Amino acid sequence: MGKNDHEAIQAVLEGDKEAYGALVVRHSQSLFRVAFRITGNEADAEDVVQEAFLRGYQKLESFESRAKFGTWIYRIAVRCALDRIGGHRVDDSSRVAEETDPEQEKLQVADEAAGPDRLLLSGEIGALQDLALRSLTATERAAFVLRHMEDCTSEEIGAALGIPQNAAKQAVFRAVKKLRGRLAPLRVMR
């Protein structure tokens, strides 16, 4: 029978490096899930998972035994993912404008892209939503992902992003407002 998280951590700190493997195996899936949702990219998400476990290993001595390892390493992964998307250039291929038209609040896409009606018909709503998500700032995007997809509370989001709870709440609000504005063309088709 395998060790539980706290036993495994104790073993690692006593020099049994292999015990960390059990923690990696146990938590890799959940870390990949949140990393993918924040980065929106499979390769980046895999890098984030590796980096999170590396940082976790190096900081393991500072891990408090009262906490849950899963929550602790999850927060590290969120920070790594945030660093990753914060440092990335805007993908030219998506060609999403930084700002939407203030009057119309419509998503600005490249000329060759299909209009909302065609997008709807060709089942590309999801892709349009992903583009809108990628146009948010790194903090807004991470906060929104944690709230909307990971069901985290504002307190948990604040802790994961290293910002006050109220700032986390405001980041979610801004993200929702921007997304609603940018996805407004889809509303017309409903």
Partner 1 sequence: MKHLNEEELIEHYYSKGTAGAGKHLKTCTECAEAYAALRIDMDEMKFAAPPARDPAYGERVWQSIGPFLPAYHVRNQSWLDIGLWRGLSYAAFALLLVGAFFAGRLSEHKQAGTMAKSTPAPAQERAAPPQQRIVVVVLSDHLDRSERLLVELKHADAGSEETVSPLRDEARSLLAANRICRQNAAKIDDPELAAALDRLDQVLGELANHPGGLNPATITRLQDEMNADGLLFQVRVLRSRIPEQEAAKAAQSKEGEI
Which residues of the chain form contacts with partner 1 (CB under 8 A)?
A: 12-18, 20-21, 24-29, 32-33, 36-37, 40, 42-43, 45-47, 49-51, 53-55, 57-58, 60, 87, 126, 129-130, 133, 147-149, 169, 172-173, 176-177, 179-180, 183, 186-187, 190
Helices 42-58 and 19-39, packing angle to 10 deg: 140
For residues 32 and 24, the answer to whether their CB atoms sit within 8 Å is no
Q: Please name which of 115, 18, 112 lies closest in space to residue 57, comparing C-alpha atoms.
A: 18
How far apart are alpha carbons 142 and 133 in whole angstroms?
A: 10
How far apart are alpha carbons 111 and 46 in whole angstroms?
A: 33
121-147 b/e with 16+ CB inside 10 Å = b?
Answer: eeebeeebeebbbbbbebbbbbbbbbb
Nearer to partner 1 by Cβ, of 108 and 134: the residue is 134
Backbone angles phi, psi at 87, to 5 degrees: -95, 0
State the minimum distance, in angstroms, from the CB of residue 111 to partner 1.
20
Nearer to partner 1 by Cβ, of 17 and 66: the residue is 17
State the minimum distance, in angstroms, from the CB of residue 104 to partner 1.
17
Q: Which two tokens stand for residue 7?
A: 């036993």
State the minimum distance, in angstroms, from the CB of residue 129 to partner 1.
6
State the minimum distance, in angstroms, from the CB of residue 98 to partner 1.
20
State the minimum distance, in angstroms, from the CB of residue 57 to partner 1.
5
Nearer to partner 1 by Cβ, of 53 and 72: the residue is 53
